[in-house]
C-alpha cells in the first residue's frame, strides 16, 4: 500500500489517497515481515528476477489484471478528485438547504 498526496502551493490545499490493499501469499508476507524488501520476496517466492522493475507483485498476483502502473494511477487520480470536482467539494450546507432531500444535521 502506498499513499499519494496532491498539493496546491497557492492554496496550501492537500488531498490524499492510497492504493488498494490485497493479501500477500503467506510465505511472501513472512519474508517481508522478517525484513526482506517486497520485490526481493516476490522474486524468491515466484522464482522471478528483478520483479520490481516489471509488473510488480500486484501484476504477478493478479495475472496482470491490475498492473503496477494501474495500481498507482488509480491512487493518484483519487487524490486529485477534490481538484477535479472543485465545485462539489466546496458545496456548503447553505448551498443545499433548499433541496427537497436535504435535512440539516439538527433536523435528523
* CATH number for the domain whose boundaries are 3-107: 3.90.950.10
Instruction: Spell out the residues 6+ positions from residue 64 whose beta carbon is closer than 8 angstroms to its own.
Output: 55
pLDDT (mean) for 86-96: 90
Contact 93, 106 (CB under 8 A): no
Going by C-alpha positions, the residue among 50, 76, 53, 51 that lies closest to residue 61 is: 51
Domains of the chain, by residue range, sit at: 3-107
For residue 70, what pLDDT band results from cuts at 50, 70 and 90?
A: very high
> Per-residue pLDDT tens for 7-25?
999 989 999 999 999 999 9
- Element housing 5 (H / E): strand 3-8
Q: What φ, ψ does residue 3 adopt, rounded to 5°?
A: -100, 145
pLDDT (mean) for 44-67: 89
Instruction: Check residue 105 and give its pLDDT.
Output: 65
Amino acid at each position: 500500500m502506498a499513499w499519494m498526496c496532491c498539493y496546491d502551493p497557492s492554496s496550501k490545499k492537500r488531498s490524499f489517497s492510497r492504493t488498494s490493499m490485497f493479501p500477500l501469499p503467506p510465505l511472501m508476507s513472512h519474508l517481508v515481515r522478517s525484513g526482506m524488501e517486497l520485490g526481493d520476496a516476490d522474486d524468491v517466492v515466484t522464482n522471478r528476477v528483478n520483479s520490481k522493475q516489471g509488473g510488480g507483485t500486484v501484476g504477478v498476483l493478479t495475472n496482470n489484471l491490475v498492473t503496477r502502473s494501474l495500481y498507482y494511477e488509480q491512487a493518484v487520480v483519487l487524490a486529485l478528485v477534490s481538484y477535479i470536482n472543485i465545485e462539489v467539494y466546496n458545496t456548503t450546507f447553505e448551498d443545499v438547504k433548499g433541496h427537497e432531500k436535504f435535512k440539516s444535521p439538527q433536523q435528523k
